[in-house]
Amino acid sequence: MTSAQTSDVSGTNALSPERRRGVYEAIFGRRDLRAFRPEPIPDEVLARILDAAHHAGSVGFMQPWDFLAIKALATRTAVQSLFERERQAAACFYDEPRRADYLALKLEGIVEAPLNLCITCDPTRGGEVLGRNSIPETDVYSTCCAVQNLWLAARAEGVGVGWVSILKPARLRAILGMPPHIIPVAYLCPGYVDAFPARPTLATAGWRQRLALHEVVAYESWGRRDDPHWQGLCQALTTPAGSVAPMRRGLGRVLDTIAAIAAPDEAALAAARARQDTLTKPPGSLGRLEAVALQLAGITGQERPSLARQAIIVMAGDHGVVTEGCAGRLLHPQPDPGTPAPRLPDNHGGWSKRPAQRPCRRLADD
Ligand SMILES: Cc1cc2nc3c(=O)[nH]c(=O)nc-3n(C[C@H](O)[C@H](O)[C@H](O)COP(=O)(O)O)c2cc1C
């Protein structure tokens, strides 16, 4: 097919520009929310949202979902206690200061929301389901499609939704009186909210950032990030049409981050400065790096800021360590056989570990 023929058909079944914009607005403006206003959701609105969920695709048209609506405070309180136990248990998987960061996150609005919804999957529905033989989990995948429809329709209606998955299914089943073969796929808290933030709460909190789109698209074989036959898409991915202005998209993260910077936290600054003074190095010998470390402490309000993605930033400079042959060694995962790995004093923190022991991606080195 020629490109002329392609452009002939490209708009045939498309929604009008205004409707299309509405769909993308719901997609980009959808958020996971955990703080709610007390006003109830009118039944007609809730019915429309549930109907949207019920119109999701499903394997073999199985429609394995059920929507369990819960208002009773006693039930929601029991679910919240279950969440709290699981939240504490999950905290053990993190080391400090990540653990403290995790525990500071608000991860549910179970009692605050005017109602809860549990969306379940019944793997027995529909008997011999067309298309499910090879991948039995397609029943759960189908249920997730219903959840996503619900999430988007709710956004269009101005209703926020929070997904709570920090719940043990067996205990949740017991609270909700579910038979053992039913899978509670999603426990949701819907309700009106003051605002839909522009960015995920976890991103704003510095927990984790959205990956760049081009980092998750591959061509022709697993992990292949560029291919001469895909250059057009490759370029388009960095400036997806119809979402946000290209300039804003490219700089978005930087601008958002700068906008979020408030006055420095003086207590964190002082604590970081005091800690710097205890390190075994002449005061000020790391130059600008020491100032940057203090700035970071002030901005994040943490004496030792935790970084969602670790990075080793290498800057060129004339430093005595280079002539000793140590700096280069720190960069390379595989030291020369027979040469002992360089060691720095323990109170240099992570620097005494070689990069190979750290989950870092090496972007460039010399
Ligand atoms: C399967 C699933 C489970 C989730 N479980 C939780 C949860 O237990 N608590 C929570 O606060 N958010 C939960 N979330 C929401 C994610 O944290 C959220 O989708 C992610 O941070 C991106 O933010 P956004 O949805 O606002 O774009 C869950 C999301 C999904 C898809």
Q: For ligand 1, atom 29, name the residue with the nearest CA.
A: 163
Amino acid at 360: C
Q: For ligand 1, atom 26, name the residue with the nearest CA.
A: 31
Q: Is the dihedral of CA 294, 299, 305, 311 positive or negative?
A: negative
Of the ranges 21-30, 114-123, 290-299, which one carries the lowest mean pLDDT score? Answer: 290-299
Calculate mean pLDDT across residues 116-128. 97
pLDDT at 321 over 90: no
Q: How many CA atoms lie within 13 A of 103 on its CB side?
A: 12
In angstroms, the CA 48 to CA 68 distance is: 15
pLDDT at 81 over 60: yes
- What residues does each domain of the chain span? 15-198, 263-300
In angstroms, the CA 112 to CA 318 distance is: 58
285 lines ligand 1 (CB under 6 A): no
Q: How many CA atoms lie within 13 A of 313 on its CB side?
A: 5
Give pLDDT, residue 283: 75
Contact (CB, 8 A) for 121 and 182: yes
**Distance (Å) from CA 148 to ligand 1 centroid:** 12
Calculate mean pLDDT across residues 305-330. 61
pLDDT at 198 over 80: yes
More confident residue, 318 or 104: 104
CATH class as words, domain 15-198: alpha beta
Q: Is the dihedral of CA 219, 220, 223, 226 positive or negative?
A: negative
Give pLDDT, residue 40: 98
**Distance (Å) from CA 276 to ligand 1 centroid:** 37
Contact (CB, 8 A) for 31 and 200: yes
